[in-house]
Structure 1
């Protein structure tokens, strides 16, 4: 079922942590909160690309944004 983006909380380059709210969507007059869920090995990631903006209609199973691992700075 299609939904409408009410809010995207991040932009490319931002860091998302486990439990952060990524986006809020509405469908059939109901609000759906999309939350980050990461495994214990890596609890944060960087936003690489955002595919939609506020007020965009998105199809079922759409990819809203792409994440990438945060590069380790340890030498």
Structure 2
């Protein structure tokens, strides 16, 4: 329970401080994933790789979400 509270607070702080440059905001699951990858996983991948992968994944999710919304809007306009 305490761990989830920590993740929730960390995520809320990231929403306030992180610029929205076409990325989805950090989620509790993403923060948990980053902490595990950066602190606990052995053999440890480079920090730069883990952060770059997180950035790529969030960017990809944002593009997919935008595409989905455009497609849904187009379908509604056709009806």
Q: Same fold (TM over 0.5)?
A: no
TM-score by length of 2: 0.26
> 1 or 2, which has the higher helix percentage?
2
Q: Tell me which structure has the larger Cα radius of gyration.
A: 2
- Which has the bigger relative contact order, CA under 8 A and spacing at least 6? 1
